[in-house]
Structure 1
Amino acid sequence: MSADGLPPLREVIEQHGLAAKKSLGQNFLLDLNLTGKIARAAGDLTQHTVIEVGPGPGGLTRALLLHGARKVVAIERDERCLAALAEISAHYPGRLEIISGDAMKTDFTALVPDGPAKIVANLPYNIGTELLIRWLTAAGWPPFYESMTLMFQREVAQRIVATVGSDAYGRLGILAGWRTEAKIAFDVPPQAFTPPPKVTSSVVHLVPRAEPLPADVRKLGRVTEAAFGQRRKMLRQSLKSLGGERLLETVGIDATRRAETLSIAEFVRLANVV
C-alpha cells in the first residue's frame, strides 16, 4: 500500500492494462514523491477546487487529494483510465469528480461555480501549449483560476518564462508575461515517467496579474504572431500586413528593430493601435 492507503500505481496500471498511448500524448507519472512535490508547488489547496487535465491512472490526482484539495475535478478522455479513477473517487468520497471528455472542448469556467479554483496538471504533451494559451487569453480578467501549476517539456517551459532579448522569447512568453507572473518551479527527469519521454520536463507556476496592461487580447495575438512569424526580419517587414512602418511610427518604435527586442509594454502599445 502507498501512503494514501491505495495500491501502488504500477499495480493499478497493470491491473487495468493501461499502457500509455503516444497518440494521446500520455506519459504517466508514477513517483509519488514527485506528484506530492507538484501538489505542494500549487500552494494551499484546502479551500480550492483543483482542475486536473489528463489524470491518466491518477498519480497526481492522488497527491492532490492527499495534500488536502477540497475537491478535484479531473478531465480524462481515455476511457481505459476511468475505472482506476473511480477507485480513487471511492477512497475519497465526495472529493473527486471525474469528467469523461475532451479538455479541448470543455468550458472550464462552468466547472467551478462555487469559489476559488486552481489548475494543476501534468498536461498531455500534444495539447499543453494550446490549453495554456486559451487560459491566458480568457475574455474576463482576473480569470476563474487563482493559479496554474503545469508540467511541460522543458523547452516549452523556458518559452513561457522567457524575457525580452532571450532566444526563447516569443509569443508564448509575451502572453504569459503580460497577464501572469510565471516561474519554473523545478525540473522533472525523463526516468520519472512511464514511458520515459526523450526530454526533461519542467513544472511551471503561473499567478494571474490583478491588472495587466490593458489590451485587446485578439489584437495582441495577431501582432505577436506576425512579429515572431518572421523573427529574424526587421519589424517593418514582419508587421507589413498590419501596417508596417506606418504602424510603428504611430507608437514611436524604430522600424528596423526585431521582434525579440520589444518589451511586453511595446507589444501592447502596438496591439492598441492596430
Structure 2
Amino acid sequence: MSSATVIQSIAGTGARLPPLPTIRDLVRLYKLRAIKQLSQNFLMDERLTNKIVKAAGNITGHHVLEVGPGPGSITRSIIRKAPRHLVVVEKDRRFLPTLELLSEASAGFLRMDIVRGDILQFQTEQAFPDCPSQDWHDKRAPVHIIGNLPFAISTRLLINWLHEMSTRSGAWSFGRSSLTLTFQKEVAERIVAPILSERRCRLSVMNQIWSRPELKFIIPGKAFVPKPDVDVGVVTIVPLKTPLTTVPFPVVEKVVRHIFSMRQKYCRRGVANLYPPELRD
C-alpha cells in the first residue's frame, strides 16, 4: 500500500492514536502548570481543539507548523487529520515528554518533529525541506500554521508573519500558506474590523492589505486552564493573490502606525509626524 493510500485511509475515518493518557492526566502526571509570564493557557476540551483544526481546512497530507503546542491538546487533533509532516515549536522544555509521547504514537503514519525554541527566532522556511513551492497565483500552498498563541507575543508574531507574507519569504516561500490562530477576543475582532468600523486599527489595515482574515468562532475564557480574564477568538488568515498595494511593508507599517497613533484625533496629526518639523505645515 502506498503512503498516499495510507494517509487517505487514516484521514477517511479519523486517525486513531494508540491508547494514551488524557491531556488532563498528563498535566497532572508531569506536574505541568501554566506559567503566567509566558502567557500560557491550556485548552483541554477536545471538541474545541478539533474545531480549531477544522477551521484550518484540509490539512491531510499537508505540512503543518504548530506554534506553542504546550501539553499537546491541539497537536492530537492535528495528528488525527494525518498531515504529511508536523513540526511543533515549543519554548518550554517541561512539555517535551508529552510531545515525544505523541510523536512516538503517530510515527506509523506521519512525520512529527519537535523543535525546542522561540517561535520568534524560528526560520519557518527551513521547517519543510521536502515541501514543493506552489505558484502564488495558483491554489493555496499545502502549508498551514496553527497555534494557540501566547497573548504576550501574538501581535508581534502576526506582524512578523505579515511582513514575511508581503515578501513571500518564510512560510510563504512555499506559496500562499494559511494561518489559523487564537487571539484575545478584542484583538481578533480588530484584525477583521471592516472600513469605518470603530474597531478599525493598525492590525486591521495591515492584515487586510495582504490577506483575507476571518473570525471563525469565539472560545469562552472558562474553557482554558487557567482561565484567562478574556474570551478568545479563532482567526484564519489566507494571503491575497494580489495585495492591495505594492509599497514595501516597512513603509506601509510606519505610515499606518503613525495614522493610528493618535486615536480620536484627525489622522493628519499622525501623518504630520512622518515629516520633519519644518515641513509639517
- TM-score by length of structure 2 reads 0.83
Q: CA deviation at 1:231?
A: 2.3
SS of 1:182's partner is: strand
SS of 1:65's partner is: helix
Name the count of aligned residue pairs. 246
Q: Distance in 2 between matches of 1:15 and 1:71?
A: 28
SS of 2:64's partner is: strand
**Which residue of 163, 167, 170 maps to 1:140?**
167
Please list, as runs of the form range in 1=range in 2, the aligned pairs for 1:22-41 lying within 5 A after superposition.
22-41=36-55
**Which residue of 37, 49, 56 maps to 1:42?**
56
**Which residue of 198, 209, 221 maps to 2:253?**
221
- Give percent identity, aligned residues only: 37
Q: Distance in 2 between matches of 1:18 and 1:133?
A: 30
Matched, 1:129 2:155: yes
Q: Name 2:9's counterpart in structure 1.
A: none
Q: CA deviation at 1:128?
A: 1.0
TM-superposition CA deviations, 1:133-176 (whole Å, max 9, x none): 11111152382452101011100101110112112111100111
SS of 2:40's partner is: coil
**Which residue of 198, 207, 221 maps to 1:190?**
221
RMSD over aligned Cα atoms = 2.0
> What are the ranges of 5 or more consecutive residues in structure 1 without an aligned counterpart?
249-254, 256-274
Please list, as runs of the form range in 1=range in 2, the aligned pairs for 1:251-266 lying within 5 A after superposition.
none
Q: CA deviation at 1:109?
A: 1.7
Q: CA deviation at 1:31?
A: 0.5
Whether contact under 8 Å (2:63, 2:86) holds in the other structure is: yes
Q: CA deviation at 1:217?
A: 0.6
> What are the ranges of 5 or more consecutive residues in structure 2 without an aligned counterpart?
1-15, 133-141
What is the identity, as a one-letter code, of the residue corresponding to 1:134? N
**Which residue of 264, 268, 271 maps to 1:232?**
264
Q: CA deviation at 1:73?
A: 0.6
Q: Name 1:261's counterpart in structure 2.
A: none
Matched, 1:90 2:122: no
Q: Distance in 1 between matches of 2:248 and 2:42?
A: 38
Q: Distance in 1 between matches of 2:192 and 2:33?
A: 33
Q: Name 2:206's counterpart in structure 1.
A: 175
Q: Distance in 2 between matches of 1:47 and 1:129?
A: 30
Whether contact under 8 Å (2:260, 2:267) holds in the other structure is: no
**Which residue of 106, 111, 114 maps to 2:127?**
111
Matched, 1:9 2:23: yes
Q: CA deviation at 1:6?
A: 1.9
What is the identity, as a one-letter code, of the residue corresponding to 2:186? E
- TM-score by length of structure 1 reads 0.85
